[in-house]
A = this chain, B = another copy of it.
């Protein structure tokens, strides 16, 4: 069907643009944008949504590359002859219309997907009400569009592994990452002291000041983390109190040196491996310091701990409302929800191409 036909039928249907792929590979090679018609009057429990904003997360890219364990099923849909899946797992949508059996949502409401593999990279979608979680408009659209992955990960890692009490210490690498910045702020709100490890750089003082302003207790470089002597400085900071939790998204020597800073019975939580090197822990830390090493994956916790996603998002949303968790810097790639397939495609490709320069959002208007 042509776009002109779609426009002429606007009263009865909406032309949704969808970023999909039929084989795994680099997103710029395997993603394409196709259109399909959606009824403008949903039935029963159906909810018609228009996308407000959706981020490019590293896990979205890994998923399309085929290297991510959790993947949407490839199936024949959207008028395609071969099985396809839609990109993206996180995003904010507004309700355009609801079916007559929808009880908890109305036109104009904000919603996010309540599970992974929703396929958020599209202009419109028809969803069951049960697959959606309502978001109050007490936070910014960008915050709501990105609440489920990075700040939720930080919140869960700080609350699910160790019973940290105000005054307790945690340490993390990747202190300048989105999760790292969230952990700094959430930690401060929980009364925790934090040590964040960052890469050395020309404008280090600027970054240290920035993270300190967010609530970081201490910011150290990878070189300081690697130095045995620096352990004494940390012991002075903590006044000998054991560091109970370490959050790792780097691996390799950075992680090994961080684990050495943990106190007796401490826990290392690994949620990423940016160095592409494995987690290496001296035997003595396991045997004599009784360190525990675990992994964290926010997507798995949705199934493993019922209610964890909702409870986490509510807690994080409250911190955002109260100003305890401030907007991270995001780069907006705007496009109209009525734009052509090519325009939507270009907006996503631009966001993908720049995704290593900072958090990219495709924003529909």
Which residues from chain A sit less than 8 Å from chain B, CB to CB? 69, 251, 256, 270-273, 278-297, 300
Contacts and interface: CB of A to CB of B under 8 A. Distances in A.
Given A278-B280, A280-B280, A281-B279, A295 B287 contact: yes
A31 to B, nearest CB: 23
A293 B289 CA distance: 13
A20 to B, nearest CB: 24
A314 to B, nearest CB: 25
Contacts of A251: 283
Q: Which of A272, A288, A291 has the most CB of B within 10 A?
A: A288
- In the complex this chain forms, how many copies of it are found? 2
A33 to B, nearest CB: 30
A69 B293 contact: no
Nearest to A265: B304
Given A69-B284, A279-B280, 9 more contacts: A69-B288, A273-B283, A278-B281, A278-B283, A283-B295, A286-B293, A287-B297, A290-B297, A293-B294
Contacts of A300: 288, 290
A281 B270 CA distance: 11
6 contacts: A271-B287, A281-B281, A286-B295, A287-B297, A290-B295, A293-B293
Contacts of A291: 294-295
Contacts of A295: 283, 285-292
Q: Which of A272, A286, A288 has the most CB of B within 10 A?
A: A286
Given A278-B256, A279-B281, A270 B286 contact: yes
Nearest to A282: B278
Nearest to A250: B283
Contacts of A256: 278
